[in-house]
C-alpha cells in the first residue's frame, strides 16, 4: 500500500505508507503486528465477538471468564494503539463488529454493564447485569483511545455519560474524598465489588488495601482516577477532574501504604513515600493514576509521591531487565507506562529504565512463531489450571491462537487476555516514547527503530553502536545517549561533515538541520558481565524468598545470555526457558531488511 490511506478509514490510519530498508534489530512494530494477530484469533464471532480469557496451547483448551466485565475493554484500547503503530487494516471489519458489541453494553445511565449469565455463556457466572468497577475504568480508557483514534464525535457523549454515571451512581461521596464499595451482591474474587441495579449490598468504606479483588483494592480500582484526569486534559470536563481528585484523596490515605506487619524501616515514614507491599500490578496502576491526576491538577507533592513509589517498585525482582511483579506480561508493561509518564512529566529521567525494560522482558514474554515447535514438545502441567473449556466454541489449532499473546507466567505456556493486553500496551508506550515533538523541536529518547512525521530513526543496536536519523522537517533535535556509552568516544556526522558533540544532560543537541539530512551518531558497544540475585517471582504471593545468582551478559542494555537459565519451576509448570534465543545478537554487524513503514497522524494522549 502506498501514498495516502483511504479517507473513510479511522483517523489513526489516514497516514502515509512507504517502503524502506531498516536495520534488522528490535522493531516494536513487528511485535505489535503479532499482538494484533493474537487478538483477532481469540475473538470469536460465534459468541458475539467475545474474546477468550485465556488459551493453553500445550494442553489444548481455551479458558472462558467474564471478560466483558473488564478485560475486553483493555483489548479494545490496545487495538487502537496497535493499529496506529502498524497501520494495519487487516482486522478492521471484525474489529468494528466487536466494538459495536462493546458499545451496546453501555446503559442509558452511562455505565458499562456486563451481561447477565445465559445458558450458552455459563462462564459469566452472574445471573443479572453487573457494572464491574474495574470495567468502568477500562471502558473509559478504551473509549478515550477510540475517540482519538477514530475522530468520531459520538465517543465524547458516551464518555461524558459514563463519567456522570460513575459520579451519580457508583461512588460514595464523603466530605473530601470518594470511594467504591467492595461489597456487592455477588461472591467471588472477581465479582465482589460489582454494582447492580439494586446498588451495593454494603457501602462501608474499605479499610484495607488487601481487601479487594486479587487481594488488592488498587488492582481493580486504582487506575480509574487517571482515566478521569486524562479526559479532563483532553476536553476540560470539570466533573471528571473533581471526581478524580476525590478518588485520589481516598487512594493516598496512609492506611493503604506501607502496611507492613512488622513496621517500616527506622527513620522512614513509608506511607508518605508510597512504600508498599503486595500486588505489583495493582500498586503500579494506582501510582500511574495518581500521577495522571497530579499532572492535571499540577500537584507537586503527589508527583513526588509517585516518583518515590516508582523507585520503590524497582527494588523488587530483577528490574535491570524488567523482570518484576510475578514475572508475567502485565508487570513490566505497566512499569514501562509509569516510567514514560514520569519522564514526560519532568518528574525524573527514566528513559534508561524504559530502554532496559522494553529490550528485555517487555518483549520476552510474547509468544513468537519461532517458539511454536518448542511449545508443542512440552509435557502436560503437573498441576493443571482449573479449566472451563466450552465444547463446540473453540476450534483448533489453539497453539497458533496463542502466538502474539503474552504469558501469564514466565513459562509462556498459557496466555491470558489481561497479560496480553497490557503486554501489547507496553509495546505502544515504549514505541510512543521513542520520539517526542513540540514546537518544531524533537527529542529522541530511545535508540530504537521508529518512523515519525518529523524524523525516522534507524538503530543498529545491539550489534553496532550506530544510530541514523533521517530528517524530514526539523531544524533542531535532541538525542538521548544511553548511560553505558562512553561520551568521549561519541562521533557525530551529517554526510561527510563531522559535528561537535554538544551535551544537554544526557542529550546531544543538533541545530540548523535541513530536510533530507542523515545524521549519524556512532560509539563503541560496551559489553558487560554482571551477577544478579534473582528471586523466584512466581512465588511472590506466598512471600517466599528463594532466589538464585545469575551471570548475565549485556551488550549495551540488551541481555544476550543468562546463566543458569532463567526458567520456571518444572515441578509447577514446565515451560520455555527465557532469553534462550538471544545468541544471534552476538554479531558485530547488524543485518538489514526491507519493510513497509507507516506514519499515523494521531498521537494519543494515553
| HSE value, Cβ hemisphere, 13 Å, CA-based, for 149 | 21
Spatial CB neighbours of 277, under 8 Å, sequence gap ≥ 6: 259, 260
Q: Is the pLDDT of residue 23 over 70?
A: yes
Mean pLDDT across the chain: 91
The Cα 409–Cα 369 span in angstroms is 18
Q: Is the pLDDT of residue 571 over 70?
A: no
pLDDT attached to residue 537 = 80
Q: Is the pLDDT of residue 388 over 50?
A: no
pTM for the full predicted model: 0.95
Query: How large is the average pLDDT for residues 109-137?
Result: 88
Rounded to a whole number, what is the largest CA-CA distance in the chain? 74
pLDDT attached to residue 1 = 37
3-state helix/strand/coil string of 153-187? CHHHHHHHHHHHHHHHHHCEECCCCEECCCECCCC
Q: Is the pLDDT of residue 7 over 80?
A: no
Q: Strands (DSSP E) along 35-168, which ranges?
A: 43-44, 50-51, 54-56, 61-63
pLDDT attached to residue 542 = 57
The Cα 272–Cα 286 span in angstroms is 15
Q: Is the pLDDT of residue 598 over 70?
A: yes
The Cα 406–Cα 363 span in angstroms is 9
Query: How large is the average pLDDT for residues 565-570?
Result: 72
Q: Quick: pLDDT tens for 193-214.
A: 889 999 999 999 999 999 888 8
Query: How large is the average pLDDT for residues 310-322?
Result: 94
Query: How large is the average pLDDT for residues 134-157?
Result: 97
On whether the CB atoms of residues 307 and 254 are closer than 8 A, the answer is: no
Query: How large is the average pLDDT for residues 352-360?
Result: 98
Quickly state the pLDDT bin for 576 (edges 50, 70, 90): confident
For 480, which DSSP code?
Answer: E
On whether the CB atoms of residues 419 and 367 are closer than 8 A, the answer is: no
pLDDT attached to residue 440 = 84
Quickly state the pLDDT bin for 2 (edges 50, 70, 90): very low
Stretch among 39-48, 93-102, 561-570 having the lowest mean pLDDT: 561-570
Domains and CATH numbers, the chain: 436-525 (2.60.420)
Q: Sheet holding 592-599: strands in order across? A: 3-4, 16-23, 592-599
Quickly state the pLDDT bin for 386 (edges 50, 70, 90): very low
Q: Is the pLDDT of residue 529 over 60?
A: yes
Angle 374-380-381 from CA coordinates, rounded to 5°: 110
Higher per-residue confidence, 170 vs 327: 170
Nearest of 128, 125, 132, 205 to residue 173 by alpha carbon:
205
Q: Where are the alpha helices (DSSP H) in 71-118?
A: 71-86, 92-103
pLDDT attached to residue 127 = 84
Query: How large is the average pLDDT for residues 160-165?
Result: 98
Q: Give me the percent of the chain exceeding a pLDDT of 90.
A: 72
Q: Quick: pLDDT tens for 65-81.
A: 778 888 999 999 999 99
Quickly state the pLDDT bin for 171 (edges 50, 70, 90): very high
On whether the CB atoms of residues 36 and 91 are closer than 8 A, the answer is: yes
Dihedral over alpha carbons 423, 425, 430, 435 (to 10 degrees) = 160
For 487, which DSSP code?
Answer: G
The Cα 143–Cα 326 span in angstroms is 29
pLDDT attached to residue 381 = 67
pLDDT attached to residue 401 = 87
Indicate the SS3 state at residue 61.
strand
Quickly state the pLDDT bin for 394 (edges 50, 70, 90): very low
Stretch among 156-170, 396-410, 428-442 having the lowest mean pLDDT: 396-410
Q: What does the buried/exposed string (b/e) look like for 98-112 if buried means 16 or more CB atoms within 10 Å of the residue's CB?
A: bbebbbebbbebbbb
pLDDT attached to residue 569 = 64
Q: Quick: pLDDT tens for 258-296.
A: 988 888 888 999 999 999 999 999 999 999 999 999 999
Stretch among 18-22, 182-186, 280-284 having the lowest mean pLDDT: 182-186
Q: Is the pLDDT of residue 6 over 90?
A: no
Q: Is the pLDDT of residue 413 over 90?
A: no
One-character DSSP codes across 14-29? -SEEEEEEEESS--HH
**Cis previous bond, 53, omega within 30:** no
The Cα 44–Cα 475 span in angstroms is 49
The Cα 460–Cα 507 span in angstroms is 19
Stretch among 48-57, 160-169, 222-231 having the lowest mean pLDDT: 48-57
Q: Is the pLDDT of residue 362 over 70?
A: yes
Q: Quick: pLDDT tens for 216-263.
A: 999 989 999 999 999 999 999 999 999 999 999 999 999 999 988 888
Amino acid at each position: 500500500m502506498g501514498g495516502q490511506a483511504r479517507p473513510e478509514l479511522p483517523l489513526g490510519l489516514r497516514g502515509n505508507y512507504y517502503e524502506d530498508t531498516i536495520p534488522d534489530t528490535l522493531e516494536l512494530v513487528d511485535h505489535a503486528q503479532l499482538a494484533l494477530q493474537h487478538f483477532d484469533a481469540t475473538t470469536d464471532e460465534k459468541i458475539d465477538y467475545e474474546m477468550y480469557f485465556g488459551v493453553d496451547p500445550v494442553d489444548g483448551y481455551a479458558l472462558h471468564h467474564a471478560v466483558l466485565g473488564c478485560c475486553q475493554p483493555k483489548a479494545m484500547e490496545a487495538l487502537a494503539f496497535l493499529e496506529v503503530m502498524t497501520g494495519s487494516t487487516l482486522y478492521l471489519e471484525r474489529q468494528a463488529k466487536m466494538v459495536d458489541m462493546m458499545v451496546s453494553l453501555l446503559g442509558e445511565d452511562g455505565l458499562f454493564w456486563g451481561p447477565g449469565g445465559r445458558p450458552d455463556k455459563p462462564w459469566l457466572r452472574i445471573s443479572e447485569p453487573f457494572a464491574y468497577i474495574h470495567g468502568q475504568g477500562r471502558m473509559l480508557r478504551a473509549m478515550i483511545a477510540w475517540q482519538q483514534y477514530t475522530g468520531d464525535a459520538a465517543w465524547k457523549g458516551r464518555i461524558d455519560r459514563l463519567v456522570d454515571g460513575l459520579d451519580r451512581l457508583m461512588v460514595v461521596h464523603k466530605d473530601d474524598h470518594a470511594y467504591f464499595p467492595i461489597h456487592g451482591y455477588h461472591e467471588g474474587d472477581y465479582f465482589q465489588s460489582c454494582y447492580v441495579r439494586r446498588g451495593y449490598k454494603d457501602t462501608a468504606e474499605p479499610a484495607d488495601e488487601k481487601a479487594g479483588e486479587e487481594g488488592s483494592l488498587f488492582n481493580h480500582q486504582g487506575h480509574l482516577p487517571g482515566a478521569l484526569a486524562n479526559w479532563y486534559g483532553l476536553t476540560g470536563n470539570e466533573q471528571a477532574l473533581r471526581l478524580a481528585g476525590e478518588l485520589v484523596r481516598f487512594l493516598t490515605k496512609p492506611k493503604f501504604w506501607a502496611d507492613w506487619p512488622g513496621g517500616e524501616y527506622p527513620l522512614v515514614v513509608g506511607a508518605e513515600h508510597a512504600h508498599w507491599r503486595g500486588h505489583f500490578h495493582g500498586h503500579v496502576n494506582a501510582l500511574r493514576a495518581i500521577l495522571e491526576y497530579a499532572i492535571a491538577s499540577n500537584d507537586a507533592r503527589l508527583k513526588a509521591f509517585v516518583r518515590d513509589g516508582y523507585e520503590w517498585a524497582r527494588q523488587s525482582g530483577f528490574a535491570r531487565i524488567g523482570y518484576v511483579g510475578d514475572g508475567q506480561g502485565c508487570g513490566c508493561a505497566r512499569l514501562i507506562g509509569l516510567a514514560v509518564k514520569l519522564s514526560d512529566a519532568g518528574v525524573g529521567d527514566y528513559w534508561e529504565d524504559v530502554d532496559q525494560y522494553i529490550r528485555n522482558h517487555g518483549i520476552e514474554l510474547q509468544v513468537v512463531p519461532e517458539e511454536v515447535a518448542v511449545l508443542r514438545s512440552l509435557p502436560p502441567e503437573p498441576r493443571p489450571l482449573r479449566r472451563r473449556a466450552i465444547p463446540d466454541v473453540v476450534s483448533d489449532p489453539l497453539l497458533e491462537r496463542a502466538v502474539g499473546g503474552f504469558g501469564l507466567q514466565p513459562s509462556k505456556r498459557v496466555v491470558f487476555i489481561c497479560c496480553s493486553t497490557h503486554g501489547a500496551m507496553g509495546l505502544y508506550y515504549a514505541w510512543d516514547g521513542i520520539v517526542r515533538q513540540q514546537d518544531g523541536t524533537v527529542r529522541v529518547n530511545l535508540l530504537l527503530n521508529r518512523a515519525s512525521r518529523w524524523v525516522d530513526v534507524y538503530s543498529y543496536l545491539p550489534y553496532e553502536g550506530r544510530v541514523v536519523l533521517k530528517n524530514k522537517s526539523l531544524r533542531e533535535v535532541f538525542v538521548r545517549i544511553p548511560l553505558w556509552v562512553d561520551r568521549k568516544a561519541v562521533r557525530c556526522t551529517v554526510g561527510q561533515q563531522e559535528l561537535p558533540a554538544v551535551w544537554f544532560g544526557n542529550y546531544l543537541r543538533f541545530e540548523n538541520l535541513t530536510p533530507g539530512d542523515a545524521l549519524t551518531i556512532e560509539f563503541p558497544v560496551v559489553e558487560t558481565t554482571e551477577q544478579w540475585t534473582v528471586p523466584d517471582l512466581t512465588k511472590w504471593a506466598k512471600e517466599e524468598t528463594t532466589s538464585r545468582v545469575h551471570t548475565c551478559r549485556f551488550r549495551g542494555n540488551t541481555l544476550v545470555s543468562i546463566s543458569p537459565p532463567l526458567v520456571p519451576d518444572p515441578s509447577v509448570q514446565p515451560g520455555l526457558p527465557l532469553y534462550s534465543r538471544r545468541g544471534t545478537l552476538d554479531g558485530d554487524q547488524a543485518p538489514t531488511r526491507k519493510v513497509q513503514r507507516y506514519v499515523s497522524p494521531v498521537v494519543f494522549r494515553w
